[in-house]
């Protein structure tokens, strides 16, 4: 049996099809990725995700989580590593794809021990918390609806 690179096809999505895969910059990672990637891309995605989660950890130690310096430094780190973090940005398919695939790569790598699992979950929760905090209000409602989470907004009551 002979395999040639000319016969390999890579999934290419255009326009609206890309938005169907990743409609939000925020994900719950419910479905594992189904596409094939090269070993080089696999390694690169894993390294970038580890760098991102290490930055989340280091910034969480150095700054108060949720404070302005923490937010701005984490945002610049996410931007530097080319991960998805904001809604309404053009050409968001690749950063969202990178985010999705790299999450599952590290999920596999960090399931080896309870300590690694705990560290991974904590950093992913902090990253999710950050991304959720910067979502515009209308996008929060869309994300919750698309994620099948039904919540009613609570009005502020002042006494």
Q: Where are the domains of the chain?
A: 34-146
Q: Higher-confidence residue: 91 or 33?
A: 33
pTM: 0.75
Per-residue pLDDT of 103-150, as tens digits, reads 999 999 999 999 999 999 999 999 989 988 888 777 777 777 776 677
What is the share, in percent, of the chain residues with pLDDT greater than 70?
75
CATH class of 34-146: mainly alpha
Write out pLDDT tens, residues 78-95: 889 888 766 555 567 888
Q: What is the pLDDT of residue 136?
A: 79
DSSP per-residue letters across 48-101: HHHHHHHHHHHHHHHS-TTSHHHHHHHHHHHHHTT----SS-SS-HHHHHHHHH
3-state secondary structure of 155: coil
Contact between 27 and 135 (Cβ < 8 Å): no
> What average pLDDT score do residues 31-48 get?
93
């Amino acid at each position: 049996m002979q395999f040639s690179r000319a016969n390999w096809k890579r999934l290419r999505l255009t326009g609206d099809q890309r938005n169907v895969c990743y409609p939000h910059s925020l994900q719950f990672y419910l479905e594992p990725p189904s596409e094939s990637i090269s070993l080089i891309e696999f390694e690169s995605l894993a390294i970038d995700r580890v760098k991102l989660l290490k930055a989340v950890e280091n910034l969480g130690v150095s700054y108060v989580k949720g404070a302005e310096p923490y937010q701005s430094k984490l945002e610049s780190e996410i931007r530097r590593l080319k991960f998805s973090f904001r809604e309404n940005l053009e050409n968001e398919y690749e950063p969202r794809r990178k985010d999705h695939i790299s999450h599952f790569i590290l999920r596999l790598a960090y399931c080896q021990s309870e300590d690694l699992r705990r560290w991974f979950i904590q950093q992913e929760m902090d990253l999710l918390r950050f991304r959720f905090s910067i979502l515009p209000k209308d996008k929060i409602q869309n994300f919750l609806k698309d994620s099948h989470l039904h919540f009613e907004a609570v009005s502020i009551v002042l006494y």
